Amino acid sequence: MSQEKSSQCNTSSPSSLLGGPIVPVVLRLAAPNIVNVVGVLTILVIDAFCFGRLGSNALAGGSLVFPIAMLMQTLAAGSIGGAVASTIARSLGSGDLARARALATHAVFVAIGIGALFTVAFGVGGQSLYEAMGASGATLEAAGRYSSALFSGAIVLWLFHILASAIRGTGQMVRPALITVAVVLAYACLAPALMFGIGSVPGLGPAGAGVALVTAYALGLVPLIAHLLSAHTPIRLAWRDVYLARSLFGEILRLGFVASFNSILINLTLVVAATLVARFGTASLAGWGLASRLDFLVIPLAFSIGTALVTLVGANVGAGQLRRAYQIAWTGAAVATLVTGSLGAIASLAPDLWLGRFTSDPEVVTAGATYLRIVGPAYAAFGVGLALHFASLGAGRIMWPIIASAARLAFVIVAGGLIGGSLFALCVVFAAGFVLYGTTIVVAIRLGAWRGVGPHSNRSSSALSATAFR
């Protein structure tokens, strides 16, 4: 039996995951995910351009929906998806191929269930939320139309990200990246056509962006499912005589639920920020909305490195190579700091490179430039925190990243309320929040937040729960 497991481990976890120079293997696994960064950037640019052409009210309405939409994406791809990749990687690292396959099958049902919850909460009930955030009139109408169209297809987006994460958990990064390219290309064609119309066919306005995104992900879902039903993956989905086990749902959801707090808190901070900025009028909200979209470029930049860290750290923890798991985490954090810090420096020094492409309204540009000049330098701290969040997810120790996100949210609420009497002061608060987030995670891991982690953490759902909450 042990010989069989060893063979499975060698098949499912390439030797490069468990040995050899760390920097090359991190970069090799991260490189295909740069495609995701380009994809997200492309979608951000298309959204900003199209909403900008629809006017300030549409842009402001889209800015209110945007944090919720990104919350869904980061939960699906980063938190629950990261938990799926982590549990599969640790199972393969320990040589338990049957468990890895079962986890992949259970992940499909997880995606359907959570996607349905998002449809009910935001596809049906989103209008009340945006009204509570301060939207009214044309801005509220734009937010409601965009939200209804987008979240009606939430199950499609969840299935796409969860299945892509399952594939990444096996160390296969290229295929999900290539499929993401196809999704982005489809969206680039569909969004302008559906928002503005073609010929005599009228456009759908803000709702067109939501319909386009759901349709593009539905097209991308087809090759993902085909791959997972083929013999070209070690975690081939088996639907015949499927037995659903509570323990396997628990293994995914316990770690994913805890990890989700991090994404929820990060995006809730943006919702709070949008509410605070909305006090200064439509132009300030629109400018902040354009500028803060770059925050969500930091996330996929860190995600491209982080998905590699989830797989590498998870596989090495599963194999009992704890020292190497630590080394991988800090190497990935250093790379993330360099990449996201460079983006922040460019945004701070030349904000018009981003803002000037989407609007000529001087008030909107001024508000956006204020944000980028102050917050841009703090992107490095945000990036290192996100990278170590993914590394902690791979190790099954996610509590300190959550504490860091909670501290940032509390800081923005309290400091924003006390000293946020101007947009400039609010931006200082937002920048300080990023620094607080990254510093907290770095210090926690240095002081032993991962102490006691080991291969036992994927042996049972109860053990995983215990390590996740330490």
Q: Residue 331: inside a domain, yes or no? A: yes
- pLDDT confidence of residue 412: 92
Note whether residue 98 is domain-resident: yes
Q: Which residue has the higher pLDDT, 74 or 188?
A: 188
Low-confidence winner among 195-204, 303-312, 400-409, 412-421 (lowest mean pLDDT): 303-312
Mean pLDDT (whole number) for 28-54:
73
The pLDDT of residue 459 is 41
- For tokens 């499975």, the residue is 8
Q: Are 359 and 365 spatial neighbours (Cβ–Cβ below 8 Å)?
A: yes
CA 287/CA 341 separation, integer angstroms: 22
- Asked if the structure places residue 223 within a domain, the reply is yes
pLDDT level of residue 2 (50, 70, 90 thresholds): very low
* 1 in a structural domain: no
State pTM to two decimals.
Answer: 0.67
Closest CA to 118 of 39, 167, 163, 65: 65
The span from the first CA to the last CA of the chain, in angstroms, equals 33
Report the pLDDT averaged over residues 454-463. 42
Alpha-carbon dihedral 102, 103, 104, 105, rounded to 10 degrees: 50
Q: Is the per-residue pLDDT at 10 higher than 50?
A: no
pLDDT of residue 375: 93
Contacts of residues 39-42 at CB distance under 8 Å and 24 or more positions apart, as own/partner, are: 39/180, 39/181, 39/183, 39/184, 39/300, 40/296, 40/297, 40/299, 40/300, 41/297, 41/300, 42/184, 42/187, 42/188
Structure confidence at residue 160 (pLDDT):
95
Q: Is residue 36 very low, low, confident or very high in pLDDT (cuts 50, 70, 90)?
A: low
All residues at 6 or more sequence positions from 433 whose CB lies less than 8 Å from its CB, including other chains: 269, 408, 411, 412, 415
The pLDDT value given to residue 140: 82
* Joined tokens for residue 76: 């699906």
Q: Is residue 4 part of a domain?
A: no
Task: Establish if 399 belongs to a structural domain.
Answer: yes
In percent, the amount of the chain with pLDDT more than 70 equals 87
Q: What is the pLDDT of residues 190-247, one digit of tens each?
A: 988 998 888 777 888 888 888 999 999 999 999 999 988 887 788 888 766 567 788 8
List Cβ neighbours of 228 (8 Å cut-off, separation of 6 or more). Answer: 104, 163, 166, 167, 235, 236, 237
pLDDT at 467 over 60: no
Domain contains 232? yes
Backbone angles phi, psi at 447, to 5 degrees: -90, 5
Write out the two tokens for 35.
């495609």
Q: Domain range for residue 104?
A: 16-469
For the cut 90, the answer to whether the pLDDT of residue 377 exceeds it is: yes
Q: What is the distance between the alpha carbons of residues 30 and 197, in angstroms, rounded to a whole number?
A: 38
pLDDT at residue 219, rounded to an integer: 95
For the chain, give the percent of residues with pLDDT over 90. 21
pLDDT digits (tens, 9 = 90+) for 322-355: 888 888 888 888 988 998 999 999 999 998 888 8
**What's the pLDDT at 320?**
75
Least confident of 22-36, 85-99, 180-194: 22-36
Q: How many domains does the chain have?
A: 1
pLDDT at 117 over 50: yes
Continuous H helices in 121-205: 126-132, 137-151, 154-168, 174-196
Is 5 a domain residue? no
Rounded to 10 degrees, the C-alpha dihedral 415/286/67/272 comes to 20
The residue length of the chain stands at 470
- Which helix (H) or strand (E) segment holds residue 120: the answer is none
